[in-house]
Chains A and B, each alone.
Chain A
Amino acid sequence: MTSTSIRRAIVPGIAALTLALSACGAANEDTGSTSVDGGGDLSGTLAGGGASTQQAAMGAWAVGFQGINPDVTVEYDPIGSGGGRENFISGAFPFAGSDAYLTDDEGELSDATERCGGEAPIQVPSYISPIAVAYNLPGVDELRLSPQALAGIMAGKITTWDDEAIAEDNPDADLPSERINTVHRSDESGTTENFTDYLTTVAPDAWDAGVVETWPTEYGGEGAKGTSGVVQTVENSEFSIGYADASQTAELGQALIGVGDDFVEPSAEAAAKILEASPEAESASDTAVIYDLDFATEEAGTYPIVLTSYLMACQSYDDAADGELVKAFVEYVISDEGQDQAAAEAGSAPLSDSIQEQSLSIIENIG
């Protein structure tokens, strides 16, 4: 009786022990091969996280970076911009991704400076992507929306598809007299923030809820979880319209948005132009390449509804190895190779040369 129960305990015990030992062995091999392998001289695990907007691109960057440095593991936890900033400030993440740059509105910039040993944190744009206005309207292949019409639809003031405000820009389209079902993010999100920022700038009369991260209840519409939720809901229900990262909406109709006298498609090139047309943010500094996007731009061929996401890091780290890893990784992300990879895998818009140079010169000083 007693002996069997002991035996029962021993078997899983040994199994666990074996696992633990083999794990140790694997770890040893990793560190051992660093000195032998000549591919990259870096090793270790770099675990950051933050904005889920960068998740797809981050996957591509991790693969590309590990291709150069086979002994490095890059992990990115897409917990959201707020979570990313929080964990960066607490020191849990050596680097973080965030759709919003650090400000002192809630003391985050000061906290981050303190976390970085009193030095201003580094913030560089890593991911620029157009936000598409996707629609599901059978029989309508091209939909042109002026900023006023878009804001009216989103605010629930234009309620049917054959409304005059939509029809006047689409004389050739056969617009149904159906109710417009607007779809928005039900979670707090940087996409919503950028989108409402655009609406507030271009059509403050129609869109009077201001810049928000959570969709205002009084404007109605159907909420859906995450980018995938919005895309899926628009896909599933006819006569819907919603906004989502353009890389995810290729299957759906994408509205052309009015810029000046022109209507522009959400392409990567058209989106990349906006940073050049925008002024730097107030808190931009020697270490922070951050912009307040000029959504009201009338520059031809610029797609105005754009999401920018930043990477944040410290100028120096207590653990020099951490610093080296972060430096190498962020450098890779900003490089031509990294930006091209993100464009290919995640549909983002590559950084312009001047911004890229400026960012690289800042990253050089990490360590």
Chain B
Amino acid sequence: MAMTTEPRSDRDVTAIDQSTGRVGDVVFAGLARSSGLLIMLALAGVAVFLVVQGSGALGNTGDAVYGKDSIWGYVWPLLFGTLLASVIAMIIAAPLAIGVALIISHYAPRPVAKTLGWLIDLLAAIPSVVYGLWGINFLALNLVPAYDWLQRNAGWIPFFEGPVPNSGRTMLTAGIVLAVMALPIITAICREVFAQTPKMHQEAALALGATRWEMIRMTVFPYARSGMISAVLLGLGRALGETMAVALVLAPSLLVSFNLITAEQSSSTIAANIALNFGNASGAKIDTLIFTGLVLFIITFAVNFLGRAIAVRGVAKG
């Protein structure tokens, strides 16, 4: 540092200090800090709003909770439906998204991978109401033969009891639509994470005689594990909160039902239920609906925390 050969660099340092100056540093730090703070404030604001408005519904009974005995009797079937639809969506979307991301990052030649990535990103740009309309008018109708087949051949499983509606508007259809909607988020993140795997690790694995699949299993997956979980969690967040598409596609009832291919006995989701009923709600019913929103908020939070915990544990092990 104090060598005689370095006077120039010393001057450079001071020059840098003077030119962009401390002002830039201070302003940027301030901006970044206030952005972070703003997010916290927004989140806190939502939480406070939900608690203040929703807690009034805790004692609601009868008409105010749409004819149920208590608020919990109203929330539980909705919560169940929300989780069911999201789980179906994740079961379909997660493997699919990871597969697509692998194709893009490791298998396909560059131009193909680029186009595919671009197409997947485009899925994210489609408004959810359009997904809903597509779900009703195209997907649901075309799934009817498949549902009929399921009912005939697997009807003894409670999931596929039926009866199958000719419109095809079922929990499974809603799950599939949600899966398609969550696909771009999961794929985009997985793709980025997979691409970050150190080249050295991969080449080392290949050099040891690993096949491509073995290389991916031994180097890419362990490295990307926490990123993949984050990606699936973000997708799950989208599925949990999706409103319009589900409200259109699902034929909801207020009950707990594992029957996936019927319109008669199909659970509803919290977000869709709010969208369906808020317009005509007044007084205590509004509190009830906001309370269901609070429950969704808490569940989303819990799911995220859980996921992070799993992700962190995975890293510590590896």
Contacts and interface: CB of A to CB of B under 8 A. Distances in A.
Nearest to A214: B66
The 8 closest A-B pairs by CB, nearest first: A237-B166, A80-B279, A82-B282, A80-B280, A222-B263, A237-B167, A187-B276, A220-B264
Contacts of B163: 179
Given A186-B252, A190-B280, A237-B166, 16 more contacts: A79-B279, A82-B282, A82-B285, A83-B281, A181-B263, A186-B268, A186-B276, A187-B277, A188-B280, A212-B67, A233-B136, A236-B136, A236-B137, A236-B166, A236-B167, A237-B168
Contacts, number: 103
A307 B98 CA distance: 52
13 contacts: A78-B279, A80-B280, A83-B279, A86-B283, A108-B283, A189-B280, A220-B253, A222-B263, A225-B247, A225-B276, A233-B251, A236-B136, A236-B137
Interface of A: 52, 78-83, 85-86, 106, 108, 179, 181, 186-190, 212-214, 216-217, 220-225, 229, 232-233, 236-240
B15 to A, nearest CB: 15
How would you classify the secondary structure of chain B's contact residues: helix, strand, loop or mixed?
loop
B166 A238 contact: yes
B169 interface: yes
A190 B265 CA distance: 23
Nearest to A82: B282
Contacts of A224: 169, 251
Contact of A214 (B67, B166, B279): B67
Contacts of B103: none
Nearest to A184: B251
A246 B300 CA distance: 42
Contacts of A239: 166
Contacts of B268: 186
A52 to B, nearest CB: 7
Contacts of B137: 232, 236
Contact of A237 (B165, B252, B282): B165
B141 interface: yes
Contacts of A186: 247, 250-252, 268, 276
A101 to B, nearest CB: 14
A85 B253 CA distance: 26
Contacts of B252: 186, 223
A238 to B, nearest CB: 5
B255 A82 contact: no
B165 A181 contact: yes
Nearest to A236: B167
A237 B141 CA distance: 8
A315 B167 CA distance: 49
